Amino acid sequence: MKRHRNALLLLIVVLLAALPLWLVKAPVPTDASPPSDIFTGTDDKARALISQISPDYKPWFTPLLQPASSEIASLLFALQAALGAGFIGYYLGVSLNREKQQRINQQKSGKQSDAD
């Protein structure tokens, strides 16, 4: 039952991520405006709003290191996710093993106390 519940929760997460791809329609591009992007990052939207509120503001510092291309950026994002997920998986594997070992030890000691 618990396992089904987790699977259900994960399914809802996947749906929450996938549904917008169908439900949100890209704004119809007009001749005047450049083709509008959909699902851009919120930071870019915030930057656009900043330049709308105070057009004179100039960023006074630029990132030291820019990913060379969007491909490199997704590589680094994937690396970040892989590092995190890898560690969580490792931890769960270790925990599973430890639990198994404990159960075996308990059975052994149980048998021994029976023998005494």
Partner 1 sequence: MHIMEGFLPFEHAIGWSLASAPFIGWGLLALGKRIRDKPEQRMLIGVAAAFAFVLSALKLPSLSGSSSHPTGTGLGALLFGPVAMAPIGTVVLLFQALLLAHGGLTTLGANVFSMAIVGPLVASMTFRMMRWLHCSFSVSVFCAAALADLFTYLTTSVQLALAFPDSVSGFSGALVKFSSIFAITQIPLAISEGLLSIVIFNALARFNPQELRDMAVLPAKRSGA
Q: Binding residues for partner 1, per CB under 8 A?
A: 2, 5-6, 9-10, 12-13, 16-17, 19-21, 23-24, 38-43, 45-47, 49-50, 53-54, 57, 59-67, 73, 76-78, 80-81, 83-88, 91-92, 94-96, 98-99
**Cβ proximity to partner 1, 29 vs 67, nearer residue:** 67
Least CB distance from residue 62 to partner 1, whole Å?
6
Smallest gap from residue 75 Cβ to partner 1 (A):
10
The maximal CA–CA distance of the chain, rounded, in angstroms, is 90
Q: Is the dihedral of CA 69, 71, 73, 75 positive or negative?
A: negative
Cβ proximity to partner 1, 86 vs 110, nearer residue: 86
Least distance in angstroms from the C-beta of 10 to partner 1: 6
Q: Token digits for 57?
A: 């503001």
Kindly tell me which of 35 and 115 has the beta carbon lying closer to partner 1.
35
- Residue 38 contacts residue 27 (beta carbons within 8 Å): yes
**What is the rounded (10 degree) CA torsion for 74, 78, 79, 82?**
180
Q: Give CA–CA dist 17/97, Å, rounded.
A: 33
